[in-house]
């Protein structure tokens, strides 16, 4: 069954895979058009094809190989030829399917191994840069105030709002925060929270924290 997971608002780091491909495509479009922005969308097809045939830094394999079990024929392959294009024997349907399954299985095993090592390295680098505070359910917190009022300079607004209550811990970095006594909830990333150090907590936080 497909599980849908939400990411915290205005925090692109929570959706890293989508943001990474968007960032890469924007760089490719910019480099390809050399500053010209007319009809840029007409070039997305060839740029996407170039991306899919280029080995990924994390998996060391091309998206084509991981998705369809083989490399696609590029224009240069059609013009100059490629070894596997000149095969004398055409495999049977059963052999083709079996080879395709083996190729996909091998490619995915290699990709998982590289992704695991890359994720471990990325986590070490991220943890080294972060001042980490471990929030728990029932903690009182300040939440970054990202709302903007018309006619009011953002720098003159309160940087944080609260105190609020940690209602649910989705991971070490994502938390469901109850914003008021009416039960309004929002999802926040760790770096948009600060621990509440005061003693004058609202009664609804004290009451609800005892039940969690």
91/63 Cα distance (integer angstroms): 24
Tally of CB atoms within 10 A around 8: 22
141/202 Cα distance (integer angstroms): 12
209/165 Cα distance (integer angstroms): 8
Coil vs helix vs strand at 170: coil
Q: Are 10 and 146 in contact (CB under 8 A)?
A: yes
Q: Is 184 left (phi over 0), alpha (psi -120 to 50) or beta?
A: beta
Coil vs helix vs strand at 134: coil
Tally of CB atoms within 10 A around 139: 21
DSSP state of 91: P
162/139 Cα distance (integer angstroms): 12
Consecutive 10-residue averages of pLDDT for the chain (212 residues): 69 75 82 70 84 88 90 80 62 84 90 87 73 87 86 71 94 92 92 90 91 86
What domains can be seen in the chain, in order of their start residue? 12-129 (no CATH), 140-211 (2.30.30.140)
Per residue in 91-125, pLDDT (tens digit) is 788 888 888 888 899 999 999 998 888 888 877 77
Per residue in 130-142, pLDDT (tens digit) is 667 889 999 999 9
Which residues are 74's β-sheet partners? none
């Amino acid at each position: 069954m497909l599980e849908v997971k939400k990411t915290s608002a205005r925090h692109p780091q929570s959706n890293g895979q989508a943001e990474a491909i968007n960032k890469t495509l924007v760089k490719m479009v910019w480099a390809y058009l050399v500053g010209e922005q007319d009809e840029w969308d007409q070039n997305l097809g060839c740029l996407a094809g170039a991306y899919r045939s280029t080995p990924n830094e994390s998996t060391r394999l091309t998206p084509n190989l991981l998705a369809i079990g083989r490399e696609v024929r590029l224009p240069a392959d059609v013009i100059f030829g490629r070894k596997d294009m000149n095969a004398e024997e055409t495999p049977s349907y059963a052999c083709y399917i079996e080879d395709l399954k083996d190729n996909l299985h091998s490619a995915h095993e290699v990709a998982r191994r590289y992704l695991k090592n890359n994720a471990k390295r990325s986590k070490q680098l991220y943890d080294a840069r972060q001042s980490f505070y471990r929030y728990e359910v029932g903690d009182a917190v300040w939440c970054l105030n990202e709302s903007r009022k018309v006619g009011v300079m953002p720098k003159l607004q309160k940087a944080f709002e609260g105190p609020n209550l940690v209602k649910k811990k989705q991971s070490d970095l994502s938390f469901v925060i109850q914003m008021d006594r009416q039960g309004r909830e929002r999802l926040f990333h760790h770096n948009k929270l600060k621990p509440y150090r005061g003693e004058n907590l609202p009664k609804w936080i004290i009451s609800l924290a005892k039940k969690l």
